[in-house]
Amino acid sequence: MHDSHFLGFGLGLRTPHYDYVIQERPLVDWFEILTENYFVGGGKPKYYLHQVREHYPIVMHGVSLSIGSTDPLNTDYLKQLRALVAEIEPEWISDHLCWTTVNHINSHDLLPLPYTQEALAHVVSRVQQVQDFLGRQILLENPSSYLDFNHADMSEVEFLSEVANQADCFILLDINNIYVSSRNHGFCAEQYLEAIDPKRVRQFHLAGHSDYGDYVIDTHDHNVCDDVWSLYRKALMHFGAVSTMIERDGNIPVFEELHAELAQARQLFLQTLELDEVPKPENLVLHA
C-alpha cells in the first residue's frame, strides 16, 4: 500500500509555535523546517530546532538552491546545507524547480524556468551535481507561477517528470501550486497529477492562496480551500499514501487551528483510501 518512506501528517515548524510544540508535544507525525532559517550560528532558532528534533522526525525544505540558475552552483550554500543535514539528520531534503539568482544577483524569489530541452539538460546535470555533493537524493517541488514562456518544448509536468527520471531525484508535489498554476495558465490540474509517476513522489504540500478572479497568488496565508481539498483527494487516488503537510507562512494562527486543518487532511486520506487508520511510518530513528 505504501512505501517505507511514508511519514504520515506533518506541519511546517514556525517561530510563533516553538514554545507550544516543545511544551505540549502535539500529536503531529513530523515537522518540515525552512532550511535557511537554521543557517544562523546559534541562539534561539538552533536551540528550539534541537528540542523539536528530539521528539519528531524532520524534513528540510529550502528556497535557495536555485537549481535552474545559469550561475555556478553556490558551494558555500551547499556546504552549509550539508552541515545542517549532518546535524539534523532529516528524513529528506527538498527545494524548488525554479531559479533564484542570475549573475550573482539574488531575486529571493522562486522564478519560473522556460521548459526547453536546453533548460532540462542544465537542470538535470545540476541536480546530479547536488546529489553527488550531498551524497543523497533530493526532492524538487513544482513551483507556483504567474507567467509562462512562449518558447517551451514541453509542459511543466513533462519537464518535472523528465528531471526526476533523468537525474534520479524525487518530487515534492505541491497540490496548491498545481491548482494556482492551472488557474493562472489555464491547464487541467487533474491531467497534471495523472502525468506524474507515483514512484517519484515522496511528499505533498497543501496550502492556502489568494484568489483575485483572473489570477491566483500563492500566499500561504489562508486555510486550504475546497478546490484544493478536492484536488488532494484526486492526488491520493492516483498516488496512494504520500506524506502530507500544510504550509502556512502568513497570517499564522494558533497551533491548534493548523492542527485541526491537518486532522481534516488525515480524515480525507482515510476516507479516500478506505482505511481505518493511517499506516505506521517505518524505519524512523528519533534523535534523542
Partner 1 sequence: MPKALQALEQAFLDYLLTGDPDILAPHVAVKGKSSVDTKLQIYNNAYKMRFREAIDTNHELLGLYLGDELFEAMVDGYVVKHPSRYTSLRDYTSHLPDFLRNNAPFSAHPILAEFANFERLLLDVFDALDAVSISIEDIRMLPAENWPEMRLRLHPSVQLFAAEWNSVESWQCLRAGVSPGAANSQPESYWLLWRGLDRLSEFRSMTADEYALIQAIVHGDDFANMCELLTQWHTEEAPVAFINYLNNWISNGMVIAIV
Chain residues that interact with Fe ion, rule: CB under 5 A: 174, 205
Nearest approach, Cβ of 263 to partner 1 (angstroms)?
Answer: 31
Helix (H) or strand (E) holding 31: strand 30-34
234 binds partner 1 (CB under 8 A): no
Pick between residue 64 and residue 243 the one whose CB is nearest to partner 1.
64
Which grid coordinates are listed for 93? 531534503
Task: Give the C-alpha separation, 52 to 284, whole Å.
Answer: 15
Task: Give the C-alpha separation, 115 to 47, whole Å.
Answer: 41
Pick between residue 190 and residue 261 the one whose CB is nearest to partner 1.
190
3-state secondary structure of 169: coil
Which grid coordinates are listed for 112? 519560473
Residue at grid coordinates 524534513: 59
> Dihedrals φ, ψ of 48, to 5°?
-65, -40
Pick between residue 29 and residue 32 the one whose CB is nearest to Fe ion.
32
60 binds partner 1 (CB under 8 A): no
Task: Give the C-alpha separation, 144 to 184, whole Å.
Answer: 9
User: Using CB distances below 5 to 8 A depending on partner kind, what does residue 41 bind out of partner 1, Fe ion, none?
Assistant: partner 1
Task: Give the C-alpha separation, 18 to 37, whole Å.
Answer: 13
Candidates 4, 23, 27, 41; binder of partner 1 (CB under 8 A) is: 41
Rg (CA), the chain: 18
User: Using CB distances below 5 to 8 A depending on partner kind, what does residue 205 bind out of partner 1, Fe ion, none?
Assistant: Fe ion
84 binds partner 1 (CB under 8 A): no
72 binds partner 1 (CB under 8 A): no
Segment contacting partner 1 by CB under 8 A, of 18-26, 61-69, 254-262, 274-282: 61-69
Nearest approach, Cβ of 215 to partner 1 (angstroms)?
Answer: 4
By the 10 Å C-beta count (0-12 exposed, 13-18 middle, 19+ buried), 148 is classed as middle
CA distance readout (Å), 153 to 97, 122, 130, 162, 278: 17, 14, 25, 12, 41
User: Using CB distances below 5 to 8 A depending on partner kind, what does residue 105 bind out of Fe ion, partner 1, none?
Assistant: partner 1
Nearest approach, Cβ of 16 to partner 1 (angstroms)?
Answer: 14
Residues 164-223 that bind partner 1 (CB under 8 A): 183-186, 213-215, 217
Q: Could you tell me if residue 235 is left (phi over 0), alpha (psi between -120 and 50 degrees) or otherwise beta?
A: alpha
Chain positions contacting partner 1, by CB under 8 A? 36, 39-44, 46-47, 64, 68-70, 74, 76-77, 99, 102-109, 111, 113-114, 116, 118-119, 121-122, 146-152, 183-186, 213-215, 217
